[in-house]
């Protein structure tokens, strides 16, 4: 659980990747270079990376519509992710999933979901495989404060509790379900709901502190790997951008000064300061940031150079025996 200096640098690198990737994706949506829309994780990088860095390479993960940070945090290469956002043949899902359905099984990313809450039992199922087959892998389900009011979460917490499954339910509480403030639709405290299932419920109040998130998730992972069952973790965080890029709502549902307050707790700035206070130089940090921007440039170049998928690809992959596809 103790983080090496290299691990911490990797954390900052992955958070920077999410920020740079999503800022670029946002621009590309607005210029029409990405079809449809995207939901960015800008502002929530610590919550994502603190969790994914607590997992091992073989561990599984499912996510939701705020979908790019999860695979990036799990180590998925940026080029095929960007190509997927553009619908290119080099996309991680051959251009058939798009932003909402990123998945990279090579890094344990079992898929993001456009239906909130829908991927939660999928992570439970991955944990069931581990249990039945005697593997030591764990699974983590990311979902938001909105999905915390879906019934399937409670079916999953109950079933994985009674079966003692190695799964972590990670609620990314960014405080708004699209425009709806969580406190207006959520009775009580999400983390405290775990008590009803006899499993630990943990609330990370400062979700902008990547080390705090890492600590909480690492504890849950260790429990799960030791056969002690599931944990619910609620991480309080904030998204800096709109629910989706290009969305313009007629009403201002967030208090005017709220975003300003959260911008003062930018996870990338906070962790940069932490690293500098612990022996790294500002020049090193600048170089890391420049390096990540170059990675994103390369990812966009990979995507731009990737051809559109052949029309026939639209009829592949429905079944494993493709003769039944048409």
Asked if 311 is part of the footprint of other proteins (rule: CB under 8 A), the reply reads: no
* Among 19, 65, 243, 272, the one annotated catalytic: 243
Looking at the Cβ atoms of 281 and 322, the one nearer to other proteins is 322
Q: Does position 225 bind other proteins by CB under 8 A?
A: no
Q: Is 243 a catalytic residue?
A: yes
Nearer of residues 156 and 231 to other proteins, judged by Cβ: 156
Q: How far is the CB of 280 from other proteins (least distance, A)?
A: 38
Minimum CB separation of residue 6 from other proteins in Å reads 30
Residue 63 CB partners (closer than 8 Å, separation 6+): 70, 71, 102, 109, 111, 112, 113, 119, 141, 142
Site for other proteins in 227-256 (CB under 8 A): none
Question: Which window, 18-26, 172-180, 263-271, 312-320, contacts other proteins (CB under 8 A)?
Answer: 312-320
Q: Which is nearer to other proteins, 119 or 175 (CB)?
A: 119
- x/- track of binding to other proteins for residues 119-158 (CB under 8 A): xxxxxxxxxxxxxxx-----x-----------xx--xx-x
Work out whether 163 is an interface residue with other proteins (CB under 8 A): yes
Give the binding site for other proteins (CB under 8 A).
60, 62, 91-97, 101, 103-105, 110-111, 113-115, 118-133, 139, 151-152, 155-156, 158-159, 162-163, 316-321, 324
Catalytic site residues? 239, 243, 253
């Amino acid at each position: 659980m103790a983080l090496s200096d290299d691990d911490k640098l990797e954390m900052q690198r992955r958070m920077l990747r999410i920020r740079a990737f999503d800022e670029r994706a946002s621009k590309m949506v607005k210029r029409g270079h990405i079809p449809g829309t995207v939901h960015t994780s800008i502002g929530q990088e610590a919550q994502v990376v603190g969790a994914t860095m607590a997992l091992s390479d073989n561990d599984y993960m499912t996510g939701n519509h705020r979908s790019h940070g999860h695979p990036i945090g799990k180590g998925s290469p940026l080029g095929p992710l960007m190509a997927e956002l553009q619908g290119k043949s080099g996309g991680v899902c051959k251009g058939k999933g798009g932003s909402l359905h990123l998945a990279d099984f090579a890094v344990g990313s079992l898929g993001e979901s456009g239906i909130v809450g829908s991927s939660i039992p999928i992570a439970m199922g991955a944990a069931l495989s581990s249990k039945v087959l005697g593997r030591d892998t764990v699974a983590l389900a990311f979902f938001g404060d909105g999905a915390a009011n879906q019934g399937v979460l409670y079916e999953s917490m109950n079933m994985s509790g009674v079966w003692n499954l190695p799964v972590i339910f990670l609620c990314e509480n960014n405080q708004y379900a699209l425009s709806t403030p969580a406190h207006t639709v959520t009775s009580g405290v999400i983390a405290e709901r775990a008590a009803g299932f006899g499993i630990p419920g943990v609330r990370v109040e400062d979700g902008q502190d990547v080390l705090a998130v890492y600590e909480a998730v690492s504890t849950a992972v260790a429990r799960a790997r030791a056969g002690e069952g599931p944990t619910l973790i609620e991480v309080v965080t904030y998204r800096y951008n709109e629910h989706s890029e290009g969305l313009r709502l007629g009403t201002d549902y967030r208090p005017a000064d709220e975003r300003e307050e959260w911008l003062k707790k930018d996870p990338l700035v906070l962790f940069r300061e932490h690293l500098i206070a612990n022996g790294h130089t500002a020049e090193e940090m600048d170089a890391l940031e420049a390096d990540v921007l170059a990675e994103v440039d390369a990812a966009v170049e990979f995507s731009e150079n990737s051809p559109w998928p052949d029309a026939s690809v639209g009829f592949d992959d429905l079944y494993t025996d493709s003769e039944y596809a048409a």
